[in-house]
């Protein structure tokens, strides 16, 4: 019986980044990339305009939901504007 080869490569960061943007079939997922970009934009907007957001709780709620639960935002947009029919 042959022993399996030991993995010697140490490129953990590259694999983690690949998992962030790829779907289970191994292709780049536009939804995952969009979620990451949306989270980055929301975080940057939250850091820059934090004084204005305290007065507008609706906008603050939307930004925090984009940061915390991007899948929820995708489901809400799909329910509101249709499922791509």
Q: How far apart are CA 45 and CA 67, in angstroms?
A: 11
> Which residue range is the domain that position 27 belongs to?
12-80
The model carries a pTM of: 0.63
pLDDT in tens, 2-31: 777 776 767 778 888 888 888 888 888 888
- How far is it, in rounded angstroms, from Cα 61 to Cα 84? 26
Q: Answer yes or no: is 23 within a domain.
A: yes
Give me the pLDDT at residue 23, please. 85
- Interatomic CA distance for residues 38 and 26, integer angstroms: 22
Beta strands in 1-82 (DSSP E): none
Does 48 reside within a domain? yes
Based on the structure, what is the number of domains in the chain? 1
């Amino acid at each position: 019986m042959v022993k399996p080869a030991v993995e010697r490569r140490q490129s953990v960061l590259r694999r983690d980044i690949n998992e962030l943007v790829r779907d289970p079939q191994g292709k780049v997922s536009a939804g995952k990339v969009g979620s990451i970009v949306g989270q980055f934009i929301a975080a940057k907007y939250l850091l820059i305009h934090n004084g204005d957001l305290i007065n507008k709780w609706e906008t603050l709620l939307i930004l925090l939901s984009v940061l915390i639960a991007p899948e929820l935002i995708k489901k809400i947009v799909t329910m509101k504007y249709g499922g791509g029919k």
